[in-house]
Amino acid sequence: MKKYFILFYLILSFLGKSQGIIEITNPANYNRLDEVVSIPWKEISSACSDIDISDFIVINTLNKQQVPYQLEYCGEFKVQNLLIQISVEANAVLVLKIIKGKPHKVAAKTYCRYVPERKDDFAWENDKIAFRAYGKALENTTEDAYGFDVWVKKTDRLVIEERYIKGDYHTDHGDGLDYYHVGFSLGAGNIAPFRDDSIWYSKNYHYWKILDNGPLRSTFQLEYDEWNVGSEKVKVVKTITIDAGEQLHKIEARFSFSESRVLPVVVGIIKREQAGFELFDEQNGIMGYWEPRDTLNGTTGVGCVFMQPVKNVLIRKGQLLSLLDVYSGTPVIYYRGAAWDKAGRITSAKDWFGYLQEYQQKLKSPMKVAVHKSS
């Protein structure tokens, strides 16, 4: 142990004068690869009292390379968090060093955009997968749909802009396409109230706000107009956060209502007519679906992971549903996403369900972060 600390401080001396030290511990017994970790900026500024947000770099003390990072604002004027993307071996500690310097440009791995030229679409993506939600301009048209859409990818590049410019995203031009059918369903993991054995769909989102936009994390809000759920009026704001390197991303849905104490809601995945593979793990809060194979376009997997107890799992009107309770003004948080077999990373139902289970484990065993002043 003594030799370890001597080596550690020799490395720090070699790298230059430190403003602060970040220690990241992986408590899990498996490797964490290219994971985005959030560190409160107040902890960074406390350890590095003279830090200049435009003049610092983060160094991996093992390989002496710069670590890509993003300053996260969460829609505020001041920095809220430092986001870094790192890999940490099982049960290991990674030591990073903050020093003065000009950071390398970080390649964008996440992106989101309002798309008024395509009837108010809002689209978002990372280096693995892409999605979109439908806006007001699509209502009362033959293209209208309720749920979240999936745009499959087989490239790490960001493709949203290119696909909208081409205007032909239903054809695979070598990087993927949109062949996922949503229709009048929750699509790939949308959420809605559930009463009297019925889903009470809102109309499409009306307002949007981008809080952060890459390179490692993009976060935005979609606000929906008030609608009737039985005799009760309900509103919802959905805050959506997508990180680099993940097939799933975070949904924080905040419902507002006044009459009821509790509102039952469902998160749903549309089910196809042909036979696919389903995963309902109510106890651990996992819902997964590996679609039947499309002869031309391959297979899409869709899944959701929940951070609160799932009351029940249902199949209604061709949808896989997970039932939860929400309270007015209190957000319900879950993770949803998709994978495509033609991307070559996840190629079977077994792979996809295993990914969802491992993702749940990562949420339950987050990386541990400690920030210290340099001695």
Q: Model confidence over 166-195: pLDDT tens digits?
A: 999 999 999 999 999 999 999 999 999 999
What class does CATH assign to 110-344?
mainly beta
Sheet hosting strand 300-306, strand order edge to edge: 207-213, 217-229, 232-243, 248-256, 332-340, 300-306, 286-290, 277-281
Domain boundaries, the chain: 2-104+366-372, 110-344
User: What is the Rg, in whole angstroms, of the alpha carbon atoms belonging to the chain?
Assistant: 22
pLDDT value of residue 19: 81
- Is this prediction's pTM over 0.85? yes
Q: What is the dihedral of CA 219, 129, 247, 143, to 10 degrees?
A: 80
> Using one digit for the tens of pLDDT, what is the confidence trace for 294-307?
999 999 999 999 99
> Which range, of 11-20, 105-114, 155-164, 201-210, averages the lowest pLDDT?
11-20
**Higher pLDDT, residue 4 or 107:** 107
Q: Do residues 208 and 221 make contact, with C-beta atoms less than 8 angstroms apart?
A: yes
Q: Where are the alpha helices (DSSP H) in the chain?
A: 2-15, 41-47, 160-166, 349-364
Calculate mean pLDDT across residues 266-274. 97
* Record: fold of 2-104+366-372: Immunoglobulin-like (2.60.40)
> Using one digit for the tens of pLDDT, what is the confidence trace for 199-254?
999 999 999 999 999 999 999 999 999 999 999 999 999 999 999 999 999 999 99
- Tell me how far apart the alpha carbons of residues 332 and 253 are, in angstroms, rounded to a whole number: 5
